[in-house]
Structure 1
């Protein structure tokens, strides 16, 4: 039997005609407020920066490198922030402590940090400069505090109990001394020994000091996670990609990569996938990779396979040894935003006549699919889980991309959909790339060879509840992506 979770917050998000949409009941599990905010960000930046930046060909330090290596010659985090603003990326995650254990702030609990580096004569604090620069520029600041710490493991008296306390103290420093922190990243690499009770202690610290902070969790921390790992570091989410998952089945990540990638419809936990990838082959900056930076077109492919598959893209932009983003990295990510805006800024269905088979009417009319409002949506009559919505344009138009959005606050409702096109409104051809589509979620993007047509038909072929769709459109991809 299906479970219904009625969350009052859901209703507060949909004000239409000055009344609440209380007649549409959420189906199954739904996102909390943190997860809705996370989804709306769409792209988050990752900044891998630390001792590994200053070692040759190192991405996973062993915890033995000297703190004297860390010495940015011209740290400029405002440059990072300005790049993100130009790229339309609202949030950035700094590797405050990677697996080597080196801390980018003057932690009171270890000497393996910036206070023992030559940078600013040991008086610097990268985390402080990061959070202040992002606040100045109207951006969200987040931190990666690696659970696995190779430097601490070198200590002869290391124990899980002692490390639990050590990490908890550092978590309190970061969560309590630097203003709002919007996401904390608990990498699972090397952290198999850290059990659920350990993460339980740490999650309490996060919720106490930063109640609005999203927790990225893996392995034994999934019970406390708002978002999950997508199962790869290549930049693609699954097809389908459900926001729900069976939490008991994802503790052994190595055996459940596909499961993490796709999730599970009607799983027992709402933990959507965050898709991480670096703009370079490595996570940390290495000069020899300057000619291997992903192009704007490659970033567009990644965007469509992450954001365009009901996920959020976590894109790594590693600062160089100066402490700045490389010009080519910055240029390509800004051009990605330009291309996204050019593509989705012109819905070719705008102005089309719309007719549905099972439309509910009232405030849920078909035109809400084209109004670009996050406060309106289309749905069908009660118990009608399938539908056909036909769009008749004034003349033929060429398109090679489509996008559809579901009202995630009302749960996974539609589980099957396809799109057809026609020249005369009578003989229809299904766009092959849409055959057998299942999930929609926050956003689903499909690309294909150019098609010219006057009539478009969206068919909802299967559902668990009446569909609830924010938007639907067809588009022509920006020339920046060719």
Structure 2
């Protein structure tokens, strides 16, 4: 009996705690690190500045202004890939309600226009291009607003039985559109509902069962019940630090204006959260000089973020355990403008230059790892990555360099998750050491690497 009790005691001591872990499709989200979202809609062709409040209320007078004479989704996807994106998302519908595919249930779509004799299907073109160039395709559906049908914040106009019947009809229309998207274009990386899909017990359509049935490996973002990732609280392309992948609730859906506590939760997550809901950092490429343009607009060529700004966003999103999504803007001809494409290539080249060739690299399941360089050399960056298949385990760490025979702390932190990029003042050293001072289980570190990054 004594032997049995000792065995049980040792066995219970060695058991690891119950830690939230990502589902397989959430692992793909982390591993992608970076993606693009392409916004395209009727108002791209009207020659005026986009005003969201107007666009949500007033239908486009003539939908035949849609006429991208040089449309080339291969060029879109190649531009995103050059930046380092591993997935791409297309806005199949946005706030006008106009659909960029051959819908059998939504008459307000590419069937209705003269372009390509009413036979165009940009969703099909886009998905084909993604697969051609090795990016994972996703589709974005804006159903919260629809100026053509008079839907505002999921609600139909009016009161009484007429409005109630139209509300029911609109919910079913959304469900049928989601079914079309989920069944016609092969496996999808994600279905993204702009502004969420609300509550299926309220004004929202019941779309989650449709996605589960036809796209079981697809990321779902999001409704009142479920979010496979969360918005990081701003549209700056960065997240605050620390940024945990765990969250107190299974959904991050916030229909109304966020209070301070809710916004902080989105920005930081919750290290003690029970659900795996990792962060997204999003920003439009054309966001410099106080502009913030998700769609192409005239006279914005000088408002593309600088290379330095984009690399900083990468380091403060991907480098803080989030996935970065850049908003890209096809123009009225149907192409990503040349200046935008060039900046994306510069971004991808610079990220490779900085982080593709570590000075030294190691891994291990232990609380301390050491990198030996073999000779003294400058170092100013390091990367830490946990094996998140088994959850986020690290709670506090520090990195030290051996300088003149003594250990000197160069940086310290809290969350690591899929990837933590640490930048610090350059130091000449032969050895770098990572020490995990606090964890909730034995750290499983897939990558501890050091870099010497010079200015371009």
SS in 1 for 2:299: helix
Matched, 1:459 2:409: no
Normalising by structure 2, we get a TM-score of 0.86
Gap change, CA 1:161 and 1:119, over 3 Å in 2 = same
Q: Which runs of 5+ in 1 are unaligned?
A: 1-22, 351-366, 370-377, 381-386
SS in 1 for 2:300: helix
Q: Distance in 2 between matches of 1:199 and 1:402?
A: 45
Q: Is this contact kept in 2: 1:300–1:336, CA < 8 A?
A: yes
Q: Distance in 1 between matches of 2:249 and 2:324?
A: 22
Residue 237 (structure 1) aligns with: 239
Q: CA deviation at 1:187?
A: 2.1
Gap change, CA 1:136 and 1:258, over 3 Å in 2 = same
Gap change, CA 1:328 and 1:421, over 3 Å in 2 = same
Residue 278 (structure 2) aligns with: 272
TM-align CA RMSD = 2.2
Residue 43 (structure 1) aligns with: 34
Q: CA deviation at 1:233?
A: 0.6
Matched, 1:32 2:23: yes
Instruction: Select the residue among 338, 344, 347 that pairs with 1:333.
Output: 344
Q: Is this contact kept in 2: 1:26–1:409, CA < 8 A?
A: no
Normalising by structure 1, we get a TM-score of 0.82
Instruction: Select the residue among 408, 418, 430 that pairs with 1:429.
Output: 408
Q: Is this contact kept in 2: 1:388–1:457, CA < 8 A?
A: yes
Q: CA deviation at 1:478?
A: 5.6
Q: Is this contact kept in 1: 2:226–2:251, CA < 8 A?
A: no
After superposition, residues 146-165 of structure 1 pair within 5 angstroms as: 146-151=142-147, 152-153=149-150, 157-158=162-163, 159-165=166-172
Residue 15 (structure 1) aligns with: none
Q: Distance in 2 between matches of 1:449 and 1:117?
A: 58
Q: Distance in 2 between matches of 1:478 and 1:87?
A: 20
Residue 406 (structure 1) aligns with: 386
Q: Is this contact kept in 1: 2:172–2:205, CA < 8 A?
A: no
Q: Distance in 1 between matches of 2:211 and 2:251?
A: 25
Matched, 1:116 2:125: no
Q: CA deviation at 1:124?
A: 1.2
1:35-84: CA deviations, max 9, x gaps?
01111111111001111312311153235113122111210111112223
SS in 2 for 1:403: strand
Q: How many residues align?
A: 418
Residue 308 (structure 1) aligns with: 319
After superposition, residues 251-330 of structure 1 pair within 5 angstroms as: 251-252=253-254, 254-255=258-259, 256-280=262-286, 281-330=292-341
Matched, 1:474 2:450: yes
Q: Distance in 2 between matches of 1:478 and 1:47?
A: 33
1:158-212: CA deviations, max 9, x gaps?
54322211100100111111122111112227x76x4556668201001111111
Residue 182 (structure 2) aligns with: 175
Matched, 1:342 2:333: no
Residue 374 (structure 1) aligns with: none
SS in 1 for 2:67: coil
1:287-328: CA deviations, max 9, x gaps?
311101012211110111111111111111111111111112
Q: Is this contact kept in 1: 2:250–2:277, CA < 8 A?
A: no
1:261-303: CA deviations, max 9, x gaps?
1100121211111111110120001131110101221111011
Gap change, CA 1:415 and 1:160, over 3 Å in 2 = farther
Residue 85 (structure 1) aligns with: 81
1:66-108: CA deviations, max 9, x gaps?
3122111210111112223333322110000012211111322
Instruction: Select the residue among 47, 67, 73 that pairs with 2:69.
Output: 73
Q: Distance in 2 between matches of 1:272 and 1:312?
A: 8
Residue 379 (structure 1) aligns with: 365
Residue 216 (structure 1) aligns with: 221
Greater alpha carbon shift after TM alignment, 250-259 vs 325-334: 250-259
